Amino acid sequence: MADILRKVGASEENLPGLLADLQEWYNGYMFHEEAPERLYNPDMIMYFASNYEKNRSYPRKMLDANIATDYTKVKKVFNIQQREDEFLPVLKELTSEGVLSAPITDLFNPEKAFSDEDLVNLLFYMGRTTMEGFGEGLYRFRIPNRVIRELYYDYFVDIVEREAGLNRKVSSIT
């Protein structure tokens, strides 16, 4: 990662801070329990590097607009089979406890009802959670980084606003 940052103009003096921020925002993916290290989201690294090379500064928003559109995908996942109310406790557990446990699903069966375990696996396969570990016959999954955490929090804000009948959009004052 340091080599990429050097190539886009980061100074040695700025490297430690840049690396720490990139790790918080874009690192954390693990797709196999024996993987030697966690992975960065390459799309987000390219987004950051491109901005840094042009402006010698952080992007105005650390969350690339291409990833921000994934917010709609998050909404659709939690409303699969129009069962958002049933699946919201999974999201609440993930964001409050930090970890979900489930066996790995190798194949989703369209002939049976979609379960909480299926949802946990779908989030993993979509890169919205990542492996934290394995124990007692179950995999533990967590939010991989700050980008994904912010997507979930935006979704929560949307839910709270809907339930309260609020509208976050502010009209212009003339």
For residue 90, the domain's CATH number is 1.10.10
Neighbours of 135 (CB within 10 A): 10
pLDDT tens, residue by residue, 135-158:
888 999 999 999 888 888 777 777
Predicted pLDDT at 107: 85
Would 173 be classed as within a structural domain?
no
Inter-residue contact 95 to 105 (CB < 8 Å): no
Q: Print the domain residue range for 80.
A: 69-164
**Vertex 49 angle, CA 46 and 55, to 5°:** 140
Last residue of a domain, one of 65, 80, 101: 65
Residue that terminates a domain, selected from 44, 65, 86: 65
Higher pLDDT, 22 or 79: 22
Residue with token string 């997507």:
151
Same domain membership, residue 142 and residue 60:
no
> Between 94 and 170, whose confidence is greater?
94
Which of 65, 94, 119 is the last residue in one of the domains? Answer: 65
Counting the structural domains of the chain, the total is 2
**CA angle centred on 124, ends 118 and 126, rounded to 5°:** 100
Counting Cα atoms < 13 Å in the Cβ hemisphere of 116 gives 13
Instruction: Give the C-alpha separation, 78 to 86, whole Å.
Output: 9
